[in-house]
Structure 1
């Protein structure tokens, strides 16, 4: 008989994988398509009819076709069942949100709530934050409202509330958050996805009562205090993060260093930590096989161990996922089912998706399961690059750790750049230096943290090796994470990149299966072609100029992308003692776009609401040149960024009226102000750099904070040349700007006003608003709309919707 040359994927060996894929397909379908209940019911009925047809009508005459059609019907039914599940959940969720809308009417007003604290933690700003399940609300007008909802409240006074406490408190409601700029995290959307319909701050804690209930909180708090006792003040926050996953006390600088060094996963209690906790248990598994009840005893011990660790770490989503996966895989080891690790991992995914289908769109869920599947599929083949004689020694172990890190980092590449825009290239080296140490740091550190009260003196000396390990890990992270080239910034990926990633992983997994290898390789080539086609489609057939007026509150910042891809920033936002637009808005915005160089920064004048982000920008990006007003200023902020610019040898120019700034040959940047031979005014606003950017037949006018005096000069000197299609209103819509003689010449189609909704200057001025309405067709306010974005092809401006 001839040899069968074809190969079929043994799906029968992986039933959970099939179910997982169908569940995911159904959930994605429900997310992408707005399907009515009637459509879902009709589709389900059709699937049932096909199943009846295959099982009872054609099964005798066409048994093979009947079996295949029946299996297909089962799988389709699973997919549509999952779609129906998420559809029902979203419908219920949307109804709950709609019924909570009365709270939106009480923004910045005080209400009194009664409810139970379900979560307690620390925010990134260091304030205590609580999640409260509200059962009753007293509204400002005195009306009682018994609607049940979730609220996230902040506590600047540090009342030290605990999970499970019943409280009655006066809360000042915040305005519900919305995205203000294209790159920003959708905090409001995140709140709604968590079922949280409002947020605010505790004004007065009226009463609190600790409910008598079984809780992990006292044990968790006690262990955290033990960590504080046996570790130094500097080491304790990192020790809590490494051992318990408690990251609230870490600084933003430490988080960034761990992320850029490829070590952020060691601070999130997940599969790695759970693996270290379970590893000692695996040593006793062979002894359990010989006993009649040994397997079940082992399963019980494993369950208690994982439940205890999950409770100690707060039952976070990541540790719950990892514990479930560890339980299933160890179950396979106990009951000799280790060959089905892929199937067991898929089983964990199915269980979690049935509990909460929305987890599929959670970055933690995606990273956890993608990492495990990549390791299970790729590592058996990738490990062959290590010579056999080195595989089982210390050197081989280090090579394996580095190889696992490389495989996981490459495997997670599309997910990491899609969500974070950064990818650590130093990760394999830093992981090789850290992961071996964690194998004893985590279990020994946890054991000492629990038992240290028994004999504090002994354990303080016994924990010294763990302290040295924590210090070593911190130094590795700070050294590699602080290097300029430890990571790369990548613009958000295209969808086809995910397909390339998936097909490449399958090609490596099937490298020793010639018949299927070429089929998957064909799929990989198709994905590569799709990637190139997608890039061509996304490239416009004509060159465009893009302008984004960013929402930086009571300040100015506008970003222009020229037709040839040059980047111009006009003003740099505001500065305050607590934050600045550079760190908060501009740096994340440019990093999200994959921009590492600014070809020109034009600063209208040296007030803090226009230069506030400059120090952060100079630290973060390569700046080709700075163009600014010649008005010298003595503020610490001004002197700071000037010194930074000189240290980095950034050219600083002071353009005058009549100059032309050469940045991109496809556009012209005319300097209209300040005048060259005129006495300097006492007010820097009237010495603003005013420019007109022209592309084709279209133009944009920027005047900084020019007031009546400078606008009069501009109108007198340039007259009709001021006519522009787009005008950035001077001085945030102040009554002293956008004066009538000036606006008659500008006569823009659109006026954009950059300001904060609440500001101490009462901007915009009513007179200025009326003048802008009279002389421009449309007015856009960043205080109302957030960032405003336009695109021009040289013939007309088009408004772009970035939300």
Structure 2
């Protein structure tokens, strides 16, 4: 039999809910782009649209030929657009007693201590840094002042981690077991989430704000948290009890801890039991969507039961109408419980709303359209929380379903036109073909979102889904049956064994896929808005394939946007050879990346590493990945101090390195000793730098080693032994001195004198008064007859660091010489670009 009937041409006019959702979403985007807009202004626009529609309808009521339907439709869409903008503006407006204001004042006054009372909003999750939970605060106490507050707070109950170099593990506090709805009191440090400090950073502040969370609190020690009372809500207590029942059943009847971790993700949306390596394997294999509870899981949980209830109720003699209503209501209630148990993530709520519309349509004997139903779900979610439009989960969920609804029928039509019907009629071929076409459509539909947010579209899932989806369905179904059969231990053991086997099979599939097919992917970050719009227009052209005129309009629009993006890049000079110097914000440390026109890349230091933060893994490597840098020609360690070399072990293990350059001073332990061990094990060539060396880095650039000289090394001071560099590209010079202090600066002055002049200077030792002596500043910033002095003095330093850096005196010296002082503490990463003549900062935010 054929896979499906041929699809009709896609017409959006027949899908009013979908069109309204698009208009509402565009309104949300408009309000986000104009953050100062007032809700009442947008609501006034809604009223104006309604008045226009009413007035036009009244005036044209007696005309035979009129544009009344078009005018009313346009006014309705404009009103929906304004309604979306007004809802977003109202949602973004914080009342005077919101906890966000207290958090901002606490950060400004550097007085974060506070005690909050509130309820746990979502099930706590255990992370490497501690237990994470969201608290809806209602009262606060600062000092002796108590006040009423409101708003969500992201709370972390800290768990100390072992020192990465000594292995020491501090005592681990035992926090009370908390569940959704519990009332608690918690004391800790109130603050604001870290925003985007580097070009490739994850914007945690924006991430939380999109979820309505505008404050954070970090608590340490079991005494900082007090459980006051359990939830008074019956649905919440029911969901908590069901969640605990499922966990106990998995623990008692599923043997493998790894399988229990997978089942926790499938059944409870709890991925804390899955290791980072396992999660990465799922990502590489293109199967990570199976670990996120989504429409697939709702389909497996709800509609399998819906399908089984029909014959069962029919055998019991229940009439057709009563049967449809009974199984629809039962499935609706089951899915509602599933939404509560899994925490109400966007894909689950989207699938639940769509399923509810479908169930209601079947019970009422009304037809339904997938895109129209998708529009209803979007309108519901966006009205509740309009900022969810900007979340990756929302975009992936709706893009996948939209692609399945529009592209899969077209692919099926194409297949039926070229493959004989007798081949497709075979059961196995039919199933495999449908699964592959659906996977291909979902991959194509979500590709723009993946390229924008992650820079990678894995293709292995197209093949692996054939095995992974049945294994997921088996694990999910057997896991649910294990929980239901828990009172009957022998029966639960059978289902638990099946769930264990299926979950391990899913793990095995992901590991094999990651090793064998992980390289099959498209890797490229898309950051240009015009290119994003072109990809969306291209997908729309495919969806409108059966409407030739609309298809070609969208295709021409996509082509025009690509051409415009290319011309804009040429106008900005993006194709010209240039040197990029990126001074990454790694807190209290240094990490500088130089990228040359020849394609060579040089990393100078990699920032610090602590038990909870590795600058190499969290800052340097994401930056390299985002800009497609897979090889570092040189890695230069200025000196062995941990604030410069802590991130190097992670970098050396993940990126190909041509040569490691350092000052030859050893360390018996700590990150520098680990760096040398890794370099030896990987066979990375090493070069001990000394004053007078030149490092060739392509035909257009040279790196001259200015220090350490004999006197600096003889001092025995680690900072004085810093490798200092003068980078020359065309008419642009960069002076990078690490943590060199007075002895090394004096030695460089005596040796090089006026040759130290540079347009860009990285201020020594994070702006400490032990560096940037007056004579050194004068020599480095001297203005020759043809040209200027130092234009930019860059300080790599952390906000509110314990050393009180930078000191005012050295910064004042650079400023007095006409240099603009750029601090990573104030600006985040500093990105400077030179074409060999002109030097200018790059705006990366």
> 1:461 aligned to 2:478?
no
Aligned ranges 1:73-92 → 2 under 5 Å: 73-92=75-94
Cα pair distance change 1:496/1:752, threshold 3 Å: closer
Give the superposition deviation at 1:636.
Answer: 5.5
Counterpart of 1:310 (choices 339, 357, 363) is 339
CA distance in 2, matches of 1:32, 1:763: 36
> What does the per-residue CA deviation read over 1:302-338, in whole Å, with 9 as the maximum and x for residues that have no partner?
2111112112212233311221122223444455555
Counterpart of 1:683 (choices 717, 733, 737) is 717
1:230 alignment counterpart: 253
Counterpart of 1:189 (choices 179, 200, 206) is 206
CA distance in 2, matches of 1:99, 1:611: 38
CA distance in 1, matches of 2:96, 2:445: 35
Give the superposition deviation at 1:226.
Answer: 1.6
Greater relative contact order (Cα < 8 A, sep 6+)? 2
> What does the per-residue CA deviation read over 1:705-732, in whole Å, with 9 as the maximum and x for residues that have no partner?
2222222210100011112222112222
> What does the per-residue CA deviation read over 1:345-365, in whole Å, with 9 as the maximum and x for residues that have no partner?
222222222222222222111
CA distance in 2, matches of 1:578, 1:172: 17
Aligned ranges 1:240-639 → 2 under 5 Å: 240-284=264-308, 287=311, 291-337=320-366, 340-383=369-412, 384-385=414-415, 387=419, 388=421, 389-390=423-424, 392-452=426-486, 454-482=487-515, 485-514=519-548, 516-537=550-571, 539-540=573-574, 542-635=576-669, 637-639=671-673
- 8 Å CA contact 1:271–1:319 kept in 2: the answer is yes
Q: Secondary structure at the match of 1:504?
A: helix
Aligned ranges 1:653-664 → 2 under 5 Å: 653-664=687-698
Give the superposition deviation at 1:375.
Answer: 0.6
> What does the per-residue CA deviation read over 1:394-422, in whole Å, with 9 as the maximum and x for residues that have no partner?
23322332332222112211101111122
Give the superposition deviation at 1:638.
Answer: 3.3
CA distance in 2, matches of 1:424, 1:679: 50
Cα pair distance change 1:56/1:471, threshold 3 Å: same
Cα pair distance change 1:399/1:646, threshold 3 Å: farther
CA distance in 2, matches of 1:296, 1:224: 32
- 8 Å CA contact 2:106–2:191 kept in 1: the answer is no
> What does the per-residue CA deviation read over 1:655-703, in whole Å, with 9 as the maximum and x for residues that have no partner?
3323322213333322212337997553343332211112333321111
1:122 alignment counterpart: 125
2:17 alignment counterpart: 16
- 8 Å CA contact 1:30–1:83 kept in 2: the answer is yes
Cα pair distance change 1:429/1:292, threshold 3 Å: closer
Cα pair distance change 1:786/1:115, threshold 3 Å: same
Q: How many residues align?
A: 795
Alignment root-mean-square deviation, CA: 3.0
- 8 Å CA contact 1:112–1:169 kept in 2: the answer is yes
1:4 alignment counterpart: none
CA distance in 2, matches of 1:278, 1:599: 55
CA distance in 2, matches of 1:579, 1:363: 24
- 8 Å CA contact 1:261–1:487 kept in 2: the answer is no
Counterpart of 2:142 (choices 118, 139, 143) is 139
Q: Secondary structure at the match of 1:63?
A: coil
TM-score by length of 2: 0.87
> 1:217 aligned to 2:240?
yes
Cα pair distance change 1:342/1:42, threshold 3 Å: closer
CA distance in 2, matches of 1:48, 1:279: 41
Cα pair distance change 1:307/1:177, threshold 3 Å: same
CA distance in 2, matches of 1:358, 1:391: 46
- 8 Å CA contact 1:560–1:569 kept in 2: the answer is yes
Cα pair distance change 1:415/1:176, threshold 3 Å: closer
Question: For structure 2, which runs of at least 5 residues remain unmatched after alignment?
Answer: 1-7, 159-172, 782-789
Counterpart of 1:200 (choices 200, 217, 223) is 217
Q: Secondary structure at the match of 2:444?
A: helix
> What does the per-residue CA deviation read over 1:456-488, in whole Å, with 9 as the maximum and x for residues that have no partner?
233223322221111111122223235662544
Q: Secondary structure at the match of 2:320?
A: coil
Q: Secondary structure at the match of 1:738?
A: coil
CA distance in 2, matches of 1:770, 1:526: 50
CA distance in 2, matches of 1:686, 1:82: 60
CA distance in 2, matches of 1:220, 1:775: 65
Q: Secondary structure at the match of 1:147?
A: strand
Q: Which moved more, 1:558-567 or 1:180-189?
A: 558-567
CA distance in 1, matches of 2:31, 2:581: 35
2:161 alignment counterpart: none
Q: Which runs of 4+ in 1 moved over 6 A?
A: 676-679
Cα pair distance change 1:543/1:634, threshold 3 Å: same
- 8 Å CA contact 1:605–1:629 kept in 2: the answer is yes
CA distance in 1, matches of 2:732, 2:287: 49
Question: For structure 1, which runs of at least 5 residues remain unmatched after alignment?
Answer: 1-6
- 8 Å CA contact 2:56–2:68 kept in 1: the answer is yes
Cα pair distance change 1:679/1:318, threshold 3 Å: closer
Q: Which moved more, 1:194-203 or 1:22-31?
A: 194-203
- 8 Å CA contact 2:471–2:503 kept in 1: the answer is no
> What does the per-residue CA deviation read over 1:549-573, in whole Å, with 9 as the maximum and x for residues that have no partner?
1111222101123345432211121
CA distance in 2, matches of 1:9, 1:390: 25
Q: Secondary structure at the match of 1:687?
A: coil
Cα pair distance change 1:32/1:320, threshold 3 Å: same
- 8 Å CA contact 2:719–2:741 kept in 1: the answer is yes
CA distance in 1, matches of 2:696, 2:95: 54
- 8 Å CA contact 1:191–1:197 kept in 2: the answer is yes
Cα pair distance change 1:295/1:199, threshold 3 Å: same
CA distance in 1, matches of 2:109, 2:154: 15
- 8 Å CA contact 1:120–1:128 kept in 2: the answer is no
Give the superposition deviation at 1:45.
Answer: 5.6
Q: Which moved more, 1:692-701 or 1:627-636?
A: 627-636
Cα pair distance change 1:433/1:664, threshold 3 Å: same
Q: Secondary structure at the match of 1:686?
A: coil
CA distance in 2, matches of 1:162, 1:774: 58
Counterpart of 2:114 (choices 111, 116, 122) is 111
2:54 alignment counterpart: 52
CA distance in 2, matches of 1:72, 1:336: 31
CA distance in 1, matches of 2:656, 2:491: 53
Aligned ranges 1:705-784 → 2 under 5 Å: 705-747=739-781, 748-757=790-799, 759=801, 761-765=803-807, 768=810, 771-772=813-814, 777-784=819-826
CA distance in 1, matches of 2:828, 2:545: 51
- 8 Å CA contact 2:38–2:90 kept in 1: the answer is no
Q: Secondary structure at the match of 1:146?
A: strand
CA distance in 1, matches of 2:48, 2:284: 51
1:3 alignment counterpart: none
CA distance in 1, matches of 2:819, 2:410: 65
Q: Which moved more, 1:642-651 or 1:274-283?
A: 642-651
1:797 alignment counterpart: 839
